[in-house]
Amino acid sequence: MNRFVLPLAVFAALVALLAVGLTLNPREVPSPLIDKPAPRFELPQLHQPAKTFSEKDMLGKVWILNVWASWCVSCREEHPVLIDLAASGVVPLFGLNYKDKREDGLAWLKTFGDPYQLSIHDFEGRVGIDYGVYGVPETYVIDKRGVIRYKRIGALTPEIVRSKVLPLVRELGRG
């Protein structure tokens, strides 16, 4: 009887390890950018290509940068969540139109609605690389000092907005 105890314990430990592993999402790679200054950019705006927008324009404010594209399926899924978030007026939402044709991006916003104060146009995906983007949509919460405080890879859901994004935005707004 006794000699079964150890193998059984080892087996149970292995099962526990694998069970925990199953609940983790391998696509979610922790970003090294958390608590680092938001990478610099200066990109033309989607609607007015003659004007540019830079992360510096938002110093002193808590804001959200959302990476989207008209070719991205999950963005469509995420879109109503962003519309609701924008309508709440709690935090300004900016879009980074990633590797998209300008007319496609504009048409997409026209069809589904535009939750963003403005979107910038990153046709070559350079700024995307600086922000470590690899799975659109991605969302960054940036604080008043221009530091990235939160990153979400993949679509935002109402639960995540309620439990993570909004509490963080409120806390950062106070500080």
Partner 1 sequence: MVRLLALVLLAMTAAWAPAKEATPAAQDPALEQRVMALSNELRCLVCQNQTIADSNAPLAEDLRNQVREKMRLGASDSEILDFMVARYGDFVLYRPPFKAATFLLWFGPLLLLAAGLLVLLRRLLRRQPAQDVAMTAAERKRVADLLAGDETERR
Member of 44, 92, 132, 146 binding partner 1 (CB under 8 A): 132
Do residues 102 and 122 lie in contact, with contact meaning Cβ atoms separated by under 8 Å? no
Member of 14, 16, 87, 129 binding partner 1 (CB under 8 A): 129
Name which of 92 and 146 has its Cβ closer to partner 1.
146
Q: How far is the CB of 28 from partner 1 (least distance, A)?
A: 10
Q: How far is the CB of 67 from partner 1 (least distance, A)?
A: 12
* Distance separating alpha carbons of residues 150 and 128, to the nearest angstrom: 16
- Asked if residue 130 binds partner 1 (CB under 8 A), the reply is yes
Per-residue contact flags (x/-) with partner 1 for residues 97 to 116, judged by CB under 8 A: --x-----------------
In terms of C-beta distances under 8 Å and separation of at least 24 residues, what long-range contacts does 47-56 make, across chains too?
47/106, 47/118, 47/119, 49/102, 49/121, 52/120, 53/94, 53/118, 53/120, 55/142, 55/146, 56/146
Member of 30, 159, 174, 175 binding partner 1 (CB under 8 A): 30
Three-state DSSP at 92 gives: coil
- Asked if residue 33 binds partner 1 (CB under 8 A), the reply is yes
- Asked if residue 44 binds partner 1 (CB under 8 A), the reply is no
The residues near 76 (Cβ < 8 Å, ≥ 6 apart) are 112
Name which of 125 and 146 has its Cβ closer to partner 1.
125
- Asked if residue 125 binds partner 1 (CB under 8 A), the reply is yes
Q: How far is the CB of 85 from partner 1 (least distance, A)?
A: 26
The residues near 120 (Cβ < 8 Å, ≥ 6 apart) are 41, 43, 44, 45, 46, 52, 53, 94, 95, 96, 97, 127
Residues that bind partner 1 (CB under 8 A): 26-27, 29-33, 39, 99, 124-125, 128-132, 134-135
